[in-house]
Amino acid sequence: MPHQSNHAMRTLSRFGELEWFGLSVESNSVHGYLQVPHMKWRYKTPGERTAWLIEGVVRDAHTQVEWTLDRTRRNWVLLPSRVIIEAQGLAGPAFVDVVKRINTQDQDFCRRALSDFDLILACLQEVTIPEGA
C-alpha cells in the first residue's frame, strides 16, 4: 500500500504542491477483502485551472464505475459516485457505513473501482499540464 500511496502523491504533485494527502487502503488487512478506493488531498494554492484539468481527466477516463471529484470542502475528494449517492453526501453520517457495506457486500464493485482508480492515476500521470495551471 505505501507504494500506491507514494505513486498517487507523486501524480497529484504534478499539478501543484500538496499540503495534505490521504488514501484509503486497497484491502482490509484483518479480513482480506478489497475496499472502495477514495483519495483526499489539499493543494497549498488550489487553482481553478488545475481543478478543471483533473475533473476533465476523471470525466474522460474510460472507467467501469462513475467517479466524482468533490471540491465542495477544503479537501478535494476523488471517489466512486455511488458512495456519495448512497451516503447522501460526504458529510453525511452514513458515509462510513456505506463504505463498510460496499466493502463487505460488493467485492465486484470494489474490484472494478480499484481498477478504475489505477486507470485514473495513469491518465493523470500522462496528461499535459499547461503553463500556469
What is the pTM for the complete model shown? 0.90
What's the pLDDT at 104?
A: 93
Residues whose CB falls within 8 Å of the CB of residue 18, separated by 6 or more in sequence, listed in order? 9, 12, 41, 42, 43, 44
Contact at 8 Å (CB) between 82 and 5?
no
What's the pLDDT at 19?
A: 96
| pLDDT tens, residue order, the chain (133 aa) | 455 788 999 999 999 999 999 998 677 666 678 999 999 999 999 888 999 999 999 999 999 999 999 998 889 999 999 999 999 988 878 999 999 999 999 999 999 999 999 999 999 999 988 775 5
